[in-house]
Copies of this chain bind each other. A is one copy, B any other.
Amino acid sequence: MARTVAQVKRRGVGDDAADLVREAIFDGRFPPGAPLREVELAQQLGVSRGSVREGLAVLAREGLIRTGWHRPTTVIGIEPEDVEEVYALREALDGLAARTAQSRIGASDVSHLLALVDRMAAETAGRGDATALVHLDIAFHDTLYTIAANQRLTRAWQAVRSQVHLFQIRRVRDGYLPYRDSVVREHRQIIRSLQGADPQAVERMAREHVAAARQSLLASLRPDTR
């Protein structure tokens, strides 16, 4: 399972712009529904409108923004239906990823996953930054998809990944205590199933993990009747 040394990935200016805008959306500087005007972003980021367009196309692929014909692109909202859609799809995706990963997983992969969970445990114990915990959570599932090694599946995951990230941040913002307690335990269970030989067991475990996250997120969204 030898990997290439470093493999610097050559990127365009558009990708940099996408990273900056994505970060701004996660930070709440572009709240849901906010318009992302091309000329405005172009002069703020110091690049041309063409590159901004390219970057917005990336974010559109990730489902973070919505765009239309001669209409300003806007940040997506977080309605209960959106959560239902994303997590229903994620359940199917994560289930397949876990099942596929089980048949390809190696010892180094296991230690990598365990290291991530250990860092999660450290974060929850030390009352560290909540967003760090979310990053680790996402990184765990990224690794799962990498192990599964299905390019199409990985792309499908990337198409909802940023939305999941956004949802989790929102969930963490207003009361994330239950998340904190269960996240380490559930991920450890997934690793254990991954090391077993029962495909149905891993898939069920992965799906239940997603289902639990959905439930928790919907619950934290419900009292929000402002």
Interface residues of A (CB under 8 A from B): 10-12, 50, 57, 61, 63, 69-70, 85-86, 88-89, 91-93, 95-96, 100, 150-153, 155-156, 159-160, 163
Contacts and interface: CB of A to CB of B under 8 A. Distances in A.
16 contacts: A10-B70, A50-B50, A85-B151, A86-B152, A88-B100, A88-B150, A88-B153, A89-B96, A89-B150, A89-B153, A89-B156, A91-B96, A152-B159, A152-B163, A156-B156, A159-B159
B153 A85 contact: yes
7 smallest A-B Cβ distances: which pairs?
A10-B69, A92-B96, A92-B92, A85-B152, A156-B156, A85-B150, A89-B152
Contacts of A57: 57
Interface centre among A85, A92, A95, A96 (most CB of B within 10 A): A92
B88 A11 contact: no
A69 B11 contact: yes
A141 B151 CA distance: 22
A159 B150 CA distance: 14
A154 to B, nearest CB: 10
Contacts of A155: 63, 159
Contacts of A50: 50
Contacts of A91: 96
Nearest to A157: B156
Given A89-B150, A91-B96, 13 more contacts: A10-B69, A10-B70, A12-B69, A57-B57, A63-B155, A85-B153, A88-B96, A88-B150, A88-B153, A89-B96, A92-B92, A152-B163, A156-B159
B92 A152 contact: no
A210 to B, nearest CB: 12
A69 B85 CA distance: 33
A150 B89 CA distance: 9
Contacts of A69: 10-12
Nearest to A86: B152
A155 B62 CA distance: 11
Nearest to A100: B88
Contacts of A153: 85, 88-89
